[in-house]
Chains A and B, each alone.
Chain A
Amino acid sequence: MHEMSVAQNILEIVREHIPSGDEEKVRSIRLKIGVLAGIVPDSLLFCFDALKDGSPLHNATLDVEYISITSQCKQCGKTSALDYGVFFCPACSSADVVLLTGNELNLVEIELED
């Protein structure tokens, strides 16, 4: 259940960037979460809602874009999409792959009502 601490970090970052008088104007917070980031989406949404209620950020919702796993093979050089938990190059079967995406846990942007 580290989703609670992730939700706390999200709120802290928003507070750092939005003047306190404008917090009620925050409508959506855009996140990018990789499927390998170890986040259970429903838990994160639940924790975020629990924390925002009664705070000036109570109008905010999370808008999550899930990022699938892609890799680059260091043997054949190809970029490929990988299935969850399989870390082999689909083109040449080499295990020498570098993950390009899938580990993201990023706050991208905040949308405010004018």
Chain B
Amino acid sequence: MSIVTIERKILAKNDELARQNRELFKKHKVFVFNIVSSPGAGKTSILERTLEYLNGKIKIAVIEGDVQTDFDARRIAKHNVPAVQIVTRGGCHLDASLIQEALQNIELKNTQLLIIENVGNLVCPANYDLGEELKVVVASTTEGDDKPLKYPEMFRKAGVLIVNKIDLLPYLDCNIETLKYNARQINPKLIIFETSCTTKTGVGEWCNWIIKQLPAAE
């Protein structure tokens, strides 16, 4: 038997493409976040509220990832924001090469904020760097307060947690303090926002935080 030593990351190819994406974002001074959650937590609704609040104030573009259909991109397009839909046709996550392809249809030099909405899945997207500045994980109150403990990889890798659907708390067996405590057990550095896309509670705080993250214009 003979041995060939490799010592390489299995996802090195994706990491290299993500590095190229990151360089491109830096060059054009674009702040990019990758929004992840389980299906139905409210990623697209948060995006819509965010666009309503920020559109006109800053230049935004959106990349929409979905397993099937372009329903979400159509929802976003109503806000008059450039939106590119990636349909993964069964694929459970976006990867850096899909983002690179989508970027061909986005004018980065005319963009200050790029939002990437990942496929609804709290497992697979944790492994794939897209070149984003940070991951924003959404956990809705209807999913229960133990979600962070069930998906520690994603909550550990995220920089921001949005607890969504807080207007439903009176009707649910979900303790928001327990949810936040569980999230901080996994990742003490998480920045946490609480939102309701129905009442628009918390949307302003979240959007004002985004504005503060934008790279200074020259």
User: Are A109 and B127 in contact, with the CB atoms below 8 A?
Assistant: no
Is A112 close to B, CB under 8 A?
Answer: yes
Contact of A38 among B5, B126, B184 (CB under 8 A): B126
Give Cα A17 to B3, complex, Å.
12
Residue among B6, B11, B123, B186 having the largest count of chain A Cβ atoms under 10 Å: B6
Instruction: For A36, list chain B residues within 8 Å (CB).
Output: 152-153, 156
User: Are B149 and A96 in contact, with the CB atoms below 8 A?
Assistant: no
User: Are A107 and B185 in contact, with the CB atoms below 8 A?
Assistant: no
Is B214 close to A, CB under 8 A?
Answer: no
Task: Name the interface residues of B104-134: CB closer than 8 Å to any CB of A.
Answer: 123-124, 126-128
Task: Name the interface residues of A13-41: CB closer than 8 Å to any CB of B.
Answer: 13, 17-18, 27, 31, 36-38
Instruction: For A107, list chain B residues within 8 Å (CB).
Output: 6-10
Is A6 close to B, CB under 8 A?
Answer: yes
Contact of A85 among B91, B95, B149 (CB under 8 A): B149
Is B24 close to A, CB under 8 A?
Answer: no
Interface size on A, residues (CB 8 A): 32
Interface size on B, residues (CB 8 A): 32
Hey, what's the 0/1 contact readout for A80-114 against B, CB within 8 Å counting as 1?
Answer: 00001111100000011000000001111111111
User: Are B3 and A111 in contact, with the CB atoms below 8 A?
Assistant: yes
For the residues of B in contact with A, the DSSP-based class is mixed
User: Are A6 and B11 in contact, with the CB atoms below 8 A?
Assistant: yes
Contact of B13 among A1, A9, A18, A113 (CB under 8 A): A9
Contact of B95 among A5, A12, A37, A87 (CB under 8 A): A5
Q: What is the distance, in angstroms, from A93's C-beta to the closest C-beta of chain B? A: 11
Q: What is the distance, in angstroms, from A89's C-beta to the closest C-beta of chain B? A: 11
Instruction: For B14, list chain A residues within 8 Å (CB).
Output: 9
Instruction: For B124, list chain A residues within 8 Å (CB).
Output: 1-2, 38
Contact of B153 among A38, A110, A111 (CB under 8 A): A38
Contact of B4 among A10, A18, A88, A105 (CB under 8 A): A18
Instruction: For A12, list chain B residues within 8 Å (CB).
Output: 13
Q: What is the distance, in angstroms, from A27's C-beta to the closest C-beta of chain B? A: 7
Give Cα A5 to B128, complex, Å.
11
Is B188 close to A, CB under 8 A?
Answer: yes
Q: List 15 A-B contacts (CB under 8 A).
A: A2-B128, A5-B91, A13-B6, A37-B127, A85-B149, A86-B185, A105-B10, A106-B10, A107-B7, A107-B9, A108-B5, A109-B3, A109-B6, A114-B1, A114-B2
- A-B residue pairs, 8 tightest by C-beta: A95-B188, A2-B124, A85-B152, A110-B4, A38-B153, A109-B5, A105-B10, A9-B10
Given contacts A18-B4, A38-B153, A107-B7, could you give 4 more A-B pairs where the C-beta distance is less than 8 Å?
Answer: A27-B1, A38-B123, A38-B124, A108-B7
